[in-house]
Amino acid sequence: MAERDQTRTYSRKDSVVFLKTDEPFGGLSNMAGGYPIHVNGVRILTSEALYQVCRFPHLPDVQKLIIGQVSPMTAKMRSKPYRKDSRPDWDQVRVRIMRWSLRMKLANNWNTFSALLLKTGDRCGQVFGWVAGATEGCSASQSGVSWKASAEERFHFAP
């Protein structure tokens, strides 16, 4: 089976661009705090932590370690030593898990997160942190999740 190219090119002017979580659209980042998520009675502080714990459904102690972190970057870094033990299908499901994590962020923070998404206006495209110094036509990996925010459709997540 041929491997699908997972790199896409986006126009900067048609994209929502952010580098840091304190920028106007920084709340769209998985690294943004202030959007806690509750899953099965467990409070998870960021969508990044939720995404990382989904790597390890078979390692509850690792999940607890990740969930216990206050900083999303620390949560990500705590997962690093265990990445070799990621679920066997991680590469096949990680994009779907990213979409689900963002949907959970939206569902758990409807008023604030949907307001931020609506501020993106008619710009459809990839939500991703633009690489510092990038020029027009920068590529983003498939791990970014496409979305469209519009009054008619509300929020549509697309491949």
pLDDT tens string 88-116: 999 999 988 988 898 899 899 989 988 88
Residue 73 phi, psi dihedral angles, 5° rounding: -70, -40
Residue the block writes with tokens 């995404």: 51
Count of structural domains within the chain: 1
CATH number at residue 94: 1.10.357.40
Are 127 and 47 spatial neighbours (Cβ–Cβ below 8 Å)?
no
When mean pLDDT is compared over 14-18, 20-24, 87-91, the highest value belongs to 87-91
Residue 142 has pLDDT above 50, yes or no: no
Range of the domain at 90: 7-158
Domain-located, residue 63: yes
Domain-located, residue 121: yes
What average pLDDT score do residues 50-75 get?
97
Mean pLDDT value across the chain: 77
Grade residue 8 by pLDDT with cuts at 50, 70 and 90. low
Side-chain half-sphere CA neighbours of 96 within 13 A:
5
Domain-located, residue 61: yes
Q: What is the pTM of this model?
A: 0.77
- Regarding predicted confidence, which is higher, 96 or 154? 96
Domain-located, residue 1: no
Domain-located, residue 108: yes
- Regarding predicted confidence, which is higher, 36 or 6? 36
Domain-located, residue 46: yes
What's the rounded Cα separation, in Å, for the pair 147 and 143? 13
Domain-located, residue 125: yes
What's the rounded Cα separation, in Å, for the pair 74 and 19? 18
Are 82 and 62 spatial neighbours (Cβ–Cβ below 8 Å)?
yes
What's the rounded Cα separation, in Å, for the pair 35 and 21? 12
Residue 93 phi, psi dihedral angles, 5° rounding: -110, -5
